[in-house]
Amino acid sequence: MSSTITRAVSLVLLGCLAAGCGGGAEPEPTASAPPASTVPAASGSGHELGSPVVPDGQDARDFRAQAELDDGRRVAAYQVAGTGLVVQVRSAGETSWSAPTTLVGSTEDPCQGVELEQAGGTVALTAGFGLYCYDGEPPQQVVAAVLGEGDDAWAVRTIDDVDDFTAVKVAEDGRRVDFEGGGGTITWRPSSGFA
């Protein structure tokens, strides 16, 4: 009888460990899109740089950003209400931009702006969307995206029900990006993407 109880308790503990019971660790943020989704970077040129479209009373300048990379390329990102997060790239030495590409679609309002950080040829992007953001509510969805040096596609991770990222750190060589926020840290590397 004692071995039957011991076996039963062992099975319950093993099942609990497999399910993550009692670990005390912070829960992983819930992803609304596959953690390793990619969106091709737009190619070509001949396009004008687009503009953000935001709810009345918001300053459109808060919802666009540009970064110049070490190789002379420029990346622009902006939020368009009812469409989502849009990106464009301008090659070094060019005067026109690639066609606009919707990186993340959203029908919610742009929230807390868009930011770009770059180092070592890698660009990291953050943005948020949410209902009633224009009234000061936090975003319901945040976006972390990376365009690595030499990459032709953005790595994209969206997270639901987490406030915006508090810090984005791009390693000097561009081989690591850490997105830090209330839900923990999300890391991107060229070899493995988002972890």
Indicate whether 15 belongs to any domain: no
**Domain range spanning residue 50?**
29-194
Indicate whether 185 belongs to any domain: yes
In the sheet that holds 101-105, the strands lie side by side as 64-68, 74-80, 84-90, 101-105
pLDDT tens track for 61-91: 888 999 998 888 899 999 988 899 999 999 8
- DSSP annotation of 61 reads G
* Structure-block tokens of residue 169: 């750190």
Average pLDDT, the chain: 77
Task: Report pLDDT for 13.
Answer: 32
Q: Answer for the pair 142, 165: CB distance below 8 angstroms, yes or no.
A: yes
Mean pLDDT of 21-27: 35
* Structure-block tokens of residue 116: 């770009």
Indicate whether 24 belongs to any domain: no
pLDDT tens track for 129-160: 988 877 778 888 899 999 988 777 899 999 88
Residue showing tokens 């990376």: 146
Most confident of 24-28, 43-47, 64-68, 152-156: 64-68
Indicate whether 22 belongs to any domain: no
Q: How many structural domains is the chain composed of?
A: 1
Give the residue among 146, 167, 143, 168 at the shortest CA–CA distance from 155. 146
Indicate whether 14 belongs to any domain: no
Mean pLDDT of 13-22: 35
Q: Compute the distance between CA of residue 27 and CA of residue 71 in angstroms, rounded to an integer.
A: 39
Indicate whether 117 belongs to any domain: yes
Indicate whether 23 belongs to any domain: no
Indicate whether 190 belongs to any domain: yes
* Structure-block tokens of residue 145: 């995206």
